[in-house]
Amino acid sequence: MPLDSHEVEKIAHLARLAVRTEDVPEYATNLSNILTLMAQMDSVDTAGVTPMAHPLDMPQRLRADQATESNQRELFQSIAPQVDAGLYLVPKVIE
Amino acid sequence: MKWECVIGLEIHAQLATNSKIFSAASTAYGAPPNTQACAVDLGLPGVLPVLNAEVVRMAAKFGLAIGATVARRSVFARKNYFYPDLPKGYQISQYELPIVEHGRLEIELDDGSSKTIGITRAHLEEDAGKSLHEEFQDKTGIDLNRAGTPLLEIVSEPDLRSAKEAVAYMKKIHSLVRYLAICDGNMQEGSFRCDANVSIRPVGQAEFGTRAELKNINSFRYVERAINIEIERQTDVLEGGGTVVQETRLYDPDKNETRSMRSKEEANDYRYFPDPDLLPLEIDDAFIESVRASLPELPDAKKQRFMHAFGLSAYDAGVLTASREMSDYFESVVGAVGGEAKLCANWIMGDLSAALNRDGKEITESPVDAAMLAGMLKRILDNTISGKIAKDVFEAMWAGEGDADTVVERKGLKQITDTGAIETIIDQVIAANPAQVEQYRAGKDKLIGFFVGQVMKLSKGKANPAQVNELLLKKLSY
Amino acid sequence: MHNKTIAELAAGLRAGEFSSEELTQAYLDRIERLDASLNSFITVTADAALQAARAADARLARGDAAPLTGIPIAHKDIFCTKGVRTSCGSRMLDNFIAPYNATVAEKLAAAGAVMLGKTNMDEFAMGSSNETSFYGPVCNPWNTGTVPGGSSGGSAAAVAAHLTPAATGTDTGGSIRQPAALCGITGLKPTYGRVSRYGMIAFASSLDQGGPMARSAEDAALMLAAMAGFDPKDSTSVDQPVPDYSRALNDSVEGLKIGLPKEFFDQGLDSGVARVIEAAVDEFKKLGAEVCEVSLPNSGLSVPTYYVVAPAECSSNLSRFDGVRFGYRCENPVDLEDLYKRSRGEGFGAEVKRRIMIGTYALSAGYYDAYYLKAQQIRRLISDDFRQAFERVDVIVGPTTPTPAFKLGEKFNDPVTMYLSDIFTIACNLAGLPGMSVPAGFVNGLPVGLQIIGNYFAEDRLLNVAHRYQQVTDWHQRQPSGYE
């Protein structure tokens, strides 16, 4: 099922990816080819097959409720693009 | 046209754990920004979530308390969306298979009747951080201390039909989570908050109208106001020939209005899918039974017990069981007094509650603890003080002047019960008021009150009122 | 020194023939001299390496050394290494100095291994040729006009050129085995859950698994022993004891039941590669193994299935790269949306963006059932195929890749063709099974890999089978000219 430019732009927006207008047709072609590959899955009838989300057939392991982490703000914020007064900064958000 | 509103609530209760739902960072409130955001909370590349066992226990507790199904198998999913206070670009939540489903809760309405509200589900998820819009010009600051705090999202059926019902339901859930000690219920700090889905429809219509979601309402009062103002708004829209748009709205308490949230305008496509970092959560019967065994007596059961064991009215029992702390206090007082539940209840619901309200204190912070109140009530019961004097004693205890015996002793408030002493005072009053005595004896019975008043005044309130009454009647009848 | 195996180097260190510092310096010199032609390293941490080597020498002198103490290794630049740039081959993380260590890095450091640096890779491990790296392609030392495979192409090329005795890799759809095959080295993808994923930058969480890349099964066994094990920080890590992988290496393979999946020998397999694999199978017969045909009927669907599951998970895993807390941020964003879109648009390369978009699409409203759910169902069928096969055989053997190394640029602009180069390796990841690639011969002067797939947690068996094969063949000892 081929994707058109409009759909590519919609997906790019959902994924928050800037895509240059001139690159959209190439993405559309490549993504459409991948979707064609994916369509091979339709050759198998999977009615009644339990989906397998994970290779491990085991339950989730839990941890004890203990707060053991110490404050590492200085280290973590040393690699941040923009911080002030201990806060990460982004352009103003209007709610 | 007559309109009926349909309301469903989504309550977010922060679970009172030590550490976060998927990391070992502290959940303590009020730390300097980002000092409690560890690598996992920040969503650093390569980090992985590991589920906190305590949140599972707490969710199961809640599930059992509302008579719900606690799922033997539940699944964590990712809810994908971009927002700066959501570090990973997805929220780990439960979607198709939540841990708690199909519960119910009974609420009491103003007219004394009760109503059962269905609880569709309660699921575990992580809280987001906080966006601070006011601190900087042109910038929003992000504090991720709250990111990863465990939340239980409790979703009701659209069973509520008025703002009042919504508040009653929310209060009941609030009381319950505190009873269960799974949430501190602190609404100022955001530990307990609520989104309300509100729609209206013509009375008699079966299908629901288009709903608006009111976000993040953090007080009981605001829930009532926000819902009422939203009902008004929707009514105006529909009666004006318009249509209600499905959207997210924010309640502004200052302006008492709801407004559309710009940041949520776009139709969401959250692309939920099972979180591949987290295997299915499995719970066995032994775990469920251990949780069941650890459940405290719940508010409804306690209310019934208070009514039967203490002979309290439904109203009194309801007030006294509204919070676990209140009921604990009451039971301590009754225990120490050795009965007289009604007297205990009256004092707790009367003078004590009034003083707490006046000073903005929780019952756990009361300067008059249960033992002190019981000590004073015992002095009423053994006639050491009158009920009237007790009010002064209570205020003195509240002000930190010591227990009842100390106050009575120091202030000389001990009741006069000696017949001779009371008779002496009565004689003085009769002698000083010959005209009133004459009128009384002529048949003006109402004047008895005047004489009682005079005697009490002369005794500085300490004379035993029952004795005063009895002796006065005898003396005046001569 | 650089031609010795890890076991030989460890013996030499203990015998005092050379110090770890000398050994480390020798490798650093080789990197300095030879890597310009390969581009296999993104970051070389010479000072830290020499410091770690001196510490290892002290430990050796004290006599409390572990098997890997003092042995130089390299980490794929997907493992977080504290204080060292961890780029994941991406512009997005070009400025990312990891503030913590991956469990694998921690474990190898605790064993005393000396990190030489971080190896090149396809961006975020998305690629089969190492051409998607922000730091440029890696060349195959056997022919620098060809690709080394990917995504662990830097690790494979560095090991093949003897720039490091061993390296770590990660394998989501073949990213250890395929470059190991193309570069003529030994690589092992363990059972999902055997090696901690903590600190390994996630591509597709239900498929990713770290493992060793080395010159022999014997060396791989030593590496895996240090890397594997339960990690409380990874709730998908399995709490099961780590066997002594070295001890079983020499066990006999007489009576070993080998299954050849008929689907792996169908059309699409290069005839030269087919001959190499047949010869390898003959070697096993000579060693007393029993060979039979097995069928993995749904394995033909592993590529389309994988290209739903992996992009779906990656589209979500890569959302954290948003220019807010770490990594690349675009210049002068006008608003939040601009910050997100340009930081991600400029920070990610084309292949990463393609996969994010495909995954976003596959998960989006209206398509979830047709793509994601369907893929999960076929994943179950593929896994069941293996389960049935392993009721009859001990290991499954076949080619690692359909062709030897292809030319740089040959498939770069055709994603689907590129994806098909992982056709034999992907099924293992979908099922979570362990798989290995060992050198088995050459076609046109380029190495060919033999893939050995085992049952869950049968890494010891795989290493044993590979080792016995390497005892009777010398393909793994061949060296590319110019890197002797």
List Cα–Cα distances, C427 to B388, C224, C383, C386, in angstroms.
Answer: 86, 22, 8, 9
Tell how strand A62-63 and strand B51-52 pair up: parallel
Whether A79 has its CB under 8 Å from any CB of chain C: the answer is: yes
Confidence of residue C13 (pLDDT cuts 50, 70, 90): very high
Tell if the CB–CB gap between C364 and A78 is shorter than 8 Å: no
Whether C76 has its CB under 8 Å from any CB of chain B: the answer is: no
Question: What's the gap in Å between the CA of B464 and the closest CA on chain A?
Answer: 59
Round to the nearest angstrom and report the end-to-end CA distance of chain B.
74
Question: What's the gap in Å between the CA of B98 and the closest CA on chain A?
Answer: 15
Question: Is residue C199 classed exposed, middle or buried when 0-12, 13-18 and 19+ CB atoms within 10 A define those classes?
Answer: buried
Query: Which 8-state DSSP code applies to residue C386?
Result: H
Region class of B166: left (phi > 0), else alpha (psi between -120 and 50), else beta: alpha
Closest CA to C172 of C432, C362, C348, C413: C432
C287-335: pLDDT as tens digits: 999 999 999 999 999 999 999 999 999 999 999 999 999 999 999 999 9
Tell how strand B51-52 and strand C41-44 pair up: unpaired
Tell if the CB–CB gap between B250 and A54 is shorter than 8 Å: no
Distance CA C451, CA C465 (A): 11
Tell if the CB–CB gap between C339 and A8 is shorter than 8 Å: no
Give the angle subtended at the CA of B163 by the CAs of B157 and B169, to the nearest 5°: 50
Q: Which amino acid is at A84?
A: D
Instruction: Clarify whether C175 is annotated catalytic.
Output: yes
User: Is the torsion defined by CA of A78, A83, A87, A93 positive or negative?
Assistant: negative
Given 3-state DSSP classes, what are the helix, strand and coil percentages for chain B, each rounded to the nearest 5?
40, 20, 35
- The H-or-E segment that residue B63 falls in is helix B53-65
Whether B311 has its CB under 8 Å from any CB of chain C: the answer is: no
* Least confidently predicted of B169-178, B262-271, C52-61: B262-271
B302-347: pLDDT as tens digits: 999 999 999 999 999 999 998 889 999 999 999 999 989 999 999 9
List Cα–Cα distances, A16 to B470, C133, C323, C346, C350, in angstroms.
Answer: 88, 21, 11, 11, 14
Whether B82 has its CB under 8 Å from any CB of chain C: the answer is: yes
B158-202: pLDDT as tens digits: 999 999 999 999 999 999 999 999 999 999 999 999 999 999 999
- Confidence (pLDDT) at C188: 98
Topology of domain A5-42, per CATH? Histone, subunit A (1.10.20)
Which of C103, C200, C325, C379 is the best mutation test for B, with the most CBs of B within 10 A? C325
Percent of all residues in chain B with a pLDDT value above 90, rounded to a whole number: 72
User: What is the Cα C257 distance to its own chain's centre?
Assistant: 26
Closest CA to C148 of C163, C162, C166, C160: C160
Residues of C in contact with A21 (CB under 8 A): none
Average pLDDT, chain A: 94
Percent of all residues in chain B with a pLDDT value above 70, rounded to a whole number: 99
3-state secondary structure of B333: helix
Residues of C in contact with A22 (CB under 8 A): none
Tell if the CB–CB gap between A64 and B35 is shorter than 8 Å: no
DSSP string, B273-311: EE-TTSPPEE--HHHHHHHHHHPPPPHHHHHHHHHHHH-
Neighbors of chain B with 3 or more C-beta pairs under 8 Å: A, C
Whether A74 has its CB under 8 Å from any CB of chain B: the answer is: no
Residue with tokens 């591509």: C203
- The H-or-E segment that residue B248 falls in is strand B247-252
pLDDT at C146 over 60: yes
Beta bridge partners of C291: C258
- The H-or-E segment that residue C345 falls in is helix C336-347
3-state secondary structure of B87: coil
Closest CA to B258 of B234, B229, B238: B229
Distance CA C308, CA C370 (A): 10
C85-116: pLDDT as tens digits: 999 999 999 999 999 999 999 999 999 999 99
**Minimal-distance CA residue of chain C relative to A77:** C325
Distance CA B207, CA B371 (A): 56
Closest CA to C427 of C192, C242, C258, C268: C192
**Minimal-distance CA residue of chain C relative to A60:** C235
Instruction: Clarify whether C151 is annotated catalytic.
Output: yes
Domains of chain C and any CATH numbers? 6-255 (3.90.1300.10), 300-376 (no CATH)
Question: What's the gap in Å between the CA of C457 and the closest CA on chain A?
Answer: 12
Produce one character per residue of B89-124: b if its CB has 16 or more CB atoms within 10 Å, e if not: bbbbbbbebbbbbebebebbeeeeeeeebebbbbbb
One digit per residue, the tens of pLDDT, for chain A of length 95 reads 689 999 999 999 999 999 999 999 999 999 999 999 999 999 999 999 999 999 988 999 999 999 999 999 999 999 999 999 999 999 998 76
Task: Say whether the ipTM exceeds 0.90.
Answer: yes
Q: Is the Cβ–Cβ distance between B27 and A71 less than 8 Å?
A: no
E-assigned strand segments in B277-427: 281-282
- Confidence (pLDDT) at A1: 64
- Confidence (pLDDT) at B264: 56
Q: Which amino acid is at B377?
A: L
**In three state form, how does the secondary structure of B178-230 look?**
HHCCCCCCCCCCCCEEEEEEEEEEECCCCCCCCCEEEEEECCHHHHHHHHHHH
Question: Is residue A65 classed exposed, middle or buried when 0-12, 13-18 and 19+ CB atoms within 10 A define those classes?
Answer: buried
Which of A1, A6, A43, A54 is the best mutation test for C, with the most CBs of C within 10 A? A54
Q: Which of residues 41-70 of A touch C (CB under 8 A)?
A: 41-44, 46, 49-56, 58, 60-61, 63
- Confidence (pLDDT) at C484: 87
- Confidence (pLDDT) at C285: 98
Query: Which 8-state DSSP code applies to residue B382?
Result: T
Residue with tokens 């991720």: B144
Question: Is residue C10 classed exposed, middle or buried when 0-12, 13-18 and 19+ CB atoms within 10 A define those classes?
Answer: buried
Tokens encoding C317: 């895993």
pLDDT at C240 over 60: yes
Q: Where are the domains of chain A?
A: 5-42
- Confidence (pLDDT) at B434: 87
Query: Which 8-state DSSP code applies to residue B463?
Result: B
Supply the Cα-derived Rg of chain C in whole angstroms: 21
Tokens encoding B88: 């990973």
Question: What's the gap in Å between the CA of A18 and the closest CA on chain C?
Answer: 5
- When CB atoms are compared, the residue of A56, A66, A76 closest to B279 is A56
Distance CA C315, CA C81 (A): 24
Confidence of residue B263 (pLDDT cuts 50, 70, 90): low
What CA dihedral angle connects B54, B60, B61 and B66, to 10 degrees?
150
Confidence of residue B301 (pLDDT cuts 50, 70, 90): very high
User: What is the Cα C282 distance to its own chain's centre?
Assistant: 27
Which of C20, C151, C152, C315 is labelled catalytic?
A: C151
Question: What's the gap in Å between the CA of C25 and the closest CA on chain A?
Answer: 31
Mean pLDDT value across residues C185-210? 98
Tell if the CB–CB gap between A60 and B278 is shorter than 8 Å: yes
Q: Is the Cβ–Cβ distance between C336 and C318 less than 8 Å?
A: no
- When CB atoms are compared, the residue of C298, C326, C374 closest to A80 is C326
Mean pLDDT value across residues B201-218? 91
pLDDT at B298 over 80: yes
- Confidence (pLDDT) at B389: 87
Confidence of residue B218 (pLDDT cuts 50, 70, 90): confident
Residue with tokens 């474990």: C107
Number of H helices, E strands in chain B: 17, 17
C393-423: pLDDT as tens digits: 999 999 999 999 999 999 998 989 899 889 9
Average pLDDT, chain C: 97
C147-173: pLDDT as tens digits: 999 999 999 999 999 999 999 999 999
B55-85: pLDDT as tens digits: 999 999 999 999 999 999 999 999 999 999 9
- Confidence (pLDDT) at B383: 84
For residue C345, the tally of other CB atoms under 10 A from its CB is: 18
* φ/ψ of residue B217, rounded to 5: -100, 125
List Cα–Cα distances, B294 to B64, B181, C207, C331, in angstroms.
Answer: 11, 11, 40, 56
Which of C90, C175, C421, C437 is labelled catalytic?
A: C175
Whether A82 has its CB under 8 Å from any CB of chain C: the answer is: yes
Confidence of residue B478 (pLDDT cuts 50, 70, 90): low
Tell if the CB–CB gap between C322 and B82 is shorter than 8 Å: yes
